[in-house]
Structure 1
Amino acid sequence: MSASSPHRRLAGLNPADLMATATSQGDSDEAPPELAGIEIQHLIGRGGMGAVYLGKQLSLDREVAVKIVAKAGDELFLERLEREARTMAKLRHSNLVTVHHFERLPDGSAAIIMEHVQGGTLRDRMALHPQGLPLEDVLRWTREIAAALAAAHRSGVVHRDLKPENVLLDGHGSALVTDFGLAVPTDRSSTRLTLTGTAVGTVDYMAPEAFHSADPDVRADVFSLGVMMYEMLTGRIPRGSFDGPRRQRPEVPRELDEVVMRALRPAPEERFAGMDELLAAIDRAVLRKGGRRWFLGAAGVAAAALGIGLWKKRKPAVEDATSLAEVSSLSPKEWRPLLSSTDLSRRVISGRWTREGGAVVTDDSVCVLTLRDEVPAAYRLRVVFTRLSGDYCAGVFFRVNGQVTSVDIDGWDKDLAGVQTIDGLSLEQQEHPFTFALEDGRRYELKIEVKPEAVRIWINGRELGTVPIAGRQLGVVFPWRWDPAQRPAALAIGSYQSPMRFESVEWWPLDP
């Protein structure tokens, strides 16, 4: 822990090499290490700090990446390496590579057991698009990287060496941030400054202040991500005096160009204050584009819809004559709980979720939590929640007819409620949306009956209406930061920039 900063200074651990995506491939004459409970299968790659092996953790029957850090001959180095492994093991986010175990070996080396990610690096993907990645990919991966770093920053950890080689893409195409190391070079072609007490990082991606400060804050990571955004959009690294990405690639929207250039400002105080602020700026840029589909790929066109608007509430809450305790005709004899058994460390798509007793509470970011991967053709949901503060909406995401959509409550500038998008039309554009304004501090019970032909919606025992869905195209709006086509799940809950307390989520499968 540095005396001048609350952020832990990490040095020594290089998980990027564990994935062997930036190291050389090949066989070795050295015998693989012997580790209790780990069956070493083969060498994946080799770097400056040691070798990386694919292994199987026998007790859990899962593949792992095993990094053997070469003999350091330095007890302080090993202590720092172990401390950092413990720090990384505590970081839980779906877009961070997980550290499982650290072990010192009798010969003076060390073993780090980590999550094995099958897939290449972001650098590999960028090499296939030398003029710039598709815009929807840039937005998606930027969001995922920023969300992962926001989680690390909240735990007091600054990455300080963010670059495309340190972002892995898994089998679903999701980005996972790795390499919180910064000890010694593992790639001789990379210019890294790693002397104790001096600047650290990869020069092309380092914030200006990092060259004269050994302990930069989270805004240094903002700058590095800005460099990556620029490079993803144009295929070029911004060096010296440079124009915005829009000048090199005209289809880059002006709003996104402004976000990138602000992230790249030389003075830290002129950049975004952190990753949450950067994510909010991207959302505003998307929303300001209105009905244009510049940010969507083919899989997301129907999900995004035209005419995206801000989720706001300005009207008083609708009064209901029916109390929460009243039993409606929808209530079966027994509901099956979902929320109490959900592992937050594995199920969070975005935002910050914390447990308070049997409930979960969100922060004021865009929060999505998945609950189930599969559902039957027909089922019922019951969600009890309270909006604690803010002006924005709650969402319940569900799969029906092979598509994922959601019911939003209190959104779209007009207190609208109902299914987000139908046949490419948003709630603002549909003929007969419902109206329901949430009141902060009030407890609500939302019930949804999902069948292949229609969705019915109740709030506090009052039926809002029925939405015909048979043969129609349903989708999820992009600013929720979740593309169900890329991150499959069947049931999820969310809050949009308004802290909410979800007391329970239950479901009841219906007979076909």
Structure 2
Amino acid sequence: KVVAHIERKPVPITQLRNDIPSEVIHVLQRMLEKDSRKRYQSPAEVVGELKSFLKDTNETSFTPSEEPTSPVISIETHTEKRTPQVSKRNRNTLVPIVGVTTLAIVCGVLLWWVSSNGTIKSNRGHVESGPAKLESESNGQTEPEWIELIPEIDMNQPLSENWSREGGELHVDATRDAHLTLPHRPLGEYDFEVRFTRQTGQHSIAMIFVAGSGQATFEVDAWDTDLGGIQLIDGLDLNQQPRDVFRHALENDTEYRMLLRVRRDSIEAYLNENLVTRYQGDGSNLSLLGMWNLGNQNSLGIGAFQSRTTFHSIRIRPVEASPRSPTVEQ
């Protein structure tokens, strides 16, 4: 019908298909009127006429399914049925039929939409992916284990005054610059973690670490002004540094976790689960305040300034061997 209309030789639709309802024929003929003034002027007119046709044909003959995907499935079924291979001789006859059938299907979907108040809900299934593998599992490598240092600490070292070990925990009295050497001297990249509770005082807790040729501290609640960060950098303490300093006042009788991730060219410092400061460099511009001096630039340590504190856990985890091999004193 469409092709004949274009060629100015319209063929009655009833000659193409004798099973098309008269109402649909009426709609199609009006759509194909040569005089544009006689055609539908808006989609609303088409919808209105189709809706009236639905009312006239007893609504029980067309009951929309509660499942909104049924019309979509019927479209896919008809699409499969109208794709047989045909010879060139029958193609000219098939094209108009396909056009009419497609238009009828579209009208049917539109009619169903109108009769259901225009509500179409998606019923697509939710596909859940399997659990993602840990990186260590996917590359076949085993993640290094944490090493607990408290049981291995030498409690007879010169710095052990005012320190005690009991029940797997380390305790220190409120002393001006209490600090202690730990039994580990890292040679490469590593993670360094401390869990502690400050019972009294309002001053800093310190982690003494090594990075390259430098040694420095990561401190929280320092200098009577709640300052936190890494010092010394370029010889500057937390009061003098222009950036990478944060403020946090520790609450007594509350457990905290401090973590350092020391890499070849950077250091990340965490308080609990929050990244609080980051250092970029190879450690060559890092140095230690005199009051935290351990007597060995390759050693790790901890400190508590004038605060009675309990250290619940002190752990180290080697991450990667370093190409540099500093001399380690035995």
Per the normalisation by structure 2, the TM-score is 0.51
Equivalence for 1:479: 291
Q: Aligned pair in 2 of structure 1 residues 470, 439: CA closer, same or farther (>3 Å)?
A: same
Q: How far 1:333 moved relative to its partner?
A: 6.5
CA offsets, 1:276-307, max 9 Å, x none? xxxxxxxxxxxxxxxxxxxxxxxxxxxxxxxx
Mapped partners of 1:501, 1:471: distance in 2: 29
1:403 to 204, 209, 214: 214
Q: How far 1:479 moved relative to its partner?
A: 2.9
Unaligned residue ranges in structure 2 (runs of 5+) = 1-134, 136-142, 322-330
**Residue 376 of structure 1 pairs with residue 187 of structure 2:** yes
Equivalence for 1:511: 320
1:421 to 232, 235, 238: 232
- Partner SS, residue 151 of structure 2: helix
Equivalence for 1:441: 253
Higher RCO (CA-CA < 8 Å; seq separation 6+)? 2
CA offsets, 1:216-252, max 9 Å, x none? xxxxxxxxxxxxxxxxxxxxxxxxxxxxxxxxxxxxx
Q: How far 1:403 moved relative to its partner?
A: 1.9
**Residue 454 of structure 1 pairs with residue 263 of structure 2:** no
**Residue 341 of structure 1 pairs with residue 152 of structure 2:** yes
- Whichever residue aligns with residue 172 of structure 2, its letter is T
CA offsets, 1:9-62, max 9 Å, x none? xxxxxxxxxxxxxxxxxxxxxxxxxxxxxxxxxxxxxxxxxxxxxxxxxxxxxx
Mapped partners of 1:333, 1:473: distance in 2: 29
Mapped partners of 2:187, 2:144: distance in 1: 19
Equivalence for 2:310: 501
Aligned ranges for residues 234-383 of structure 1 at < 5 Å?
Answer: 334-346=145-157, 348-349=158-159, 351-365=161-175, 366-383=177-194
- Whichever residue aligns with residue 376 of structure 1, its letter is L
CA offsets, 1:399-437, max 9 Å, x none? 111222111111023211111110111111112212221
Mapped partners of 1:488, 1:472: distance in 2: 12
Mapped partners of 1:394, 1:469: distance in 2: 24
Q: Over alpha carbons, which structure has the higher Rg? A: 2
Mapped partners of 2:225, 2:169: distance in 1: 29
Q: Aligned pair in 2 of structure 1 residues 488, 464: CA closer, same or farther (>3 Å)?
A: closer
Q: Aligned pair in 2 of structure 1 residues 511, 471: CA closer, same or farther (>3 Å)?
A: closer
Q: How far 1:385 moved relative to its partner?
A: 0.4
- Partner SS, residue 376 of structure 1: coil
Equivalence for 2:113: none
- Partner SS, residue 320 of structure 2: coil
Equivalence for 1:393: 204
- Partner SS, residue 418 of structure 1: strand
Mapped partners of 2:161, 2:249: distance in 1: 23
Equivalence for 2:83: none
Q: Aligned pair in 2 of structure 1 residues 354, 422: CA closer, same or farther (>3 Å)?
A: same
2:242 to 431, 436, 453: 431
Mapped partners of 2:213, 2:161: distance in 1: 26
Contact 1:422 1:472 in 2 (8 A): no
CA offsets, 1:177-197, max 9 Å, x none? xxxxxxxxxxxxxxxxxxxxx
Contact 1:386 1:441 in 2 (8 A): yes
Contact 1:399 1:405 in 2 (8 A): yes
Q: Aligned pair in 2 of structure 1 residues 471, 403: CA closer, same or farther (>3 Å)?
A: closer
Q: How far 1:446 moved relative to its partner?
A: 0.9
- Partner SS, residue 425 of structure 1: coil
Mapped partners of 2:192, 2:297: distance in 1: 19
Q: Aligned pair in 2 of structure 1 residues 333, 373: CA closer, same or farther (>3 Å)?
A: closer
Q: How far 1:374 moved relative to its partner?
A: 2.0
Q: How far 1:511 moved relative to its partner?
A: 1.5
Mapped partners of 1:476, 1:447: distance in 2: 18
- Whichever residue aligns with residue 300 of structure 2, its letter is L
Contact 2:215 2:283 in 1 (8 A): no
Mapped partners of 2:148, 2:196: distance in 1: 14
Equivalence for 2:325: none
Mapped partners of 1:471, 1:405: distance in 2: 9
- Partner SS, residue 156 of structure 2: helix
Mapped partners of 1:471, 1:511: distance in 2: 17
- Whichever residue aligns with residue 368 of structure 1, its letter is H
Mapped partners of 1:369, 1:353: distance in 2: 8
Per the normalisation by structure 1, the TM-score is 0.33
Contact 1:410 1:437 in 2 (8 A): yes
Q: Aligned pair in 2 of structure 1 residues 351, 497: CA closer, same or farther (>3 Å)?
A: farther
Q: How far 1:350 moved relative to its partner?
A: 5.7
Mapped partners of 1:364, 1:424: distance in 2: 27
Contact 2:208 2:215 in 1 (8 A): yes
Mapped partners of 1:367, 1:471: distance in 2: 25
- Whichever residue aligns with residue 257 of structure 2, its letter is E
Q: How far 1:492 moved relative to its partner?
A: 0.5
- Whichever residue aligns with residue 235 of structure 2, its letter is G
- Partner SS, residue 474 of structure 1: coil
Mapped partners of 2:167, 2:233: distance in 1: 37
Determine which structure has the larger helix proportion and give its number. 2
